[in-house]
Amino acid sequence: IERGVKLYQPARSLRQRADTQRRAHHALSAQHTHSEGIEKGPAGEAVEQAQSLVDQRTRDLGPDHRRTLDARQELAFCTGEDGSPTKAAALFWELARDCARLLGPDHPTTLATRHAHAYWTGTAGHPDDAARLLHLLVIDRTRVLGPNHELTQKTRQNVIAWTSMTARCHAI
């Protein structure tokens, strides 16, 4: 039992951080989506509404417009929240690639999207890949923001959490 409690504690800490990140994301996305007409309801409805918004923005503004990228970010997040973390990870990967191309590899949105890609990759059952992706992100955030920046430090903590998750998975 003691071993089980010790194994549970880091996972619980990771879930608590993920919950905090989700609440922060919801607060930020509410600013974007409320003005765009997306009503937050059950996750499935949010996915449908986000997909509709992506389609509309792609048609009206083009696939490379910043507001289309914002809608795609919301779609990817809602997809993960709806229970499809593998699909969310794939959507965030595509979005991160496009953000790097359009905004630059060091743009805050690109870095945040890479972080979300790593999170959903880990949530989809690939903690070793999440740790690797976050390690690369720490290097870039250290270069861009400095080693003591809050986002650099939080990303470093996430590397440790996913690495410990990987170790526990291999130990079982």
Q: What is the pLDDT along the chain (172 residues), one digit of tens a residue?
A: 444 434 434 444 444 544 544 444 444 444 344 434 454 456 678 899 999 999 999 999 999 999 999 999 999 999 999 999 999 999 999 999 999 999 999 999 999 999 999 999 999 999 999 999 999 999 999 999 999 999 999 999 999 999 988 766 665 5
Distance of CA 105 to the CA centre of its chain: 16
| Residue-level pLDDT at 165 | 81
> Cα(78)–Cα(8) distance, rounded to whole angstroms?
27
Radius of gyration of the chain (CA): 17
pLDDT of residue 139: 97
The pLDDT assigned to 121 comes to 97
pLDDT at 7: 40
The one-letter amino acid at 130: A
- pLDDT for 162: 92
Contact call for residues 133 and 155 (beta carbons, < 8 A): no
Give the number of other CB atoms < 10 A from CB of residue 129: 17
Looking at residue 34, its pLDDT comes to: 42
Q: How many CB atoms sit inside 10 A of residue 96's CB?
A: 24
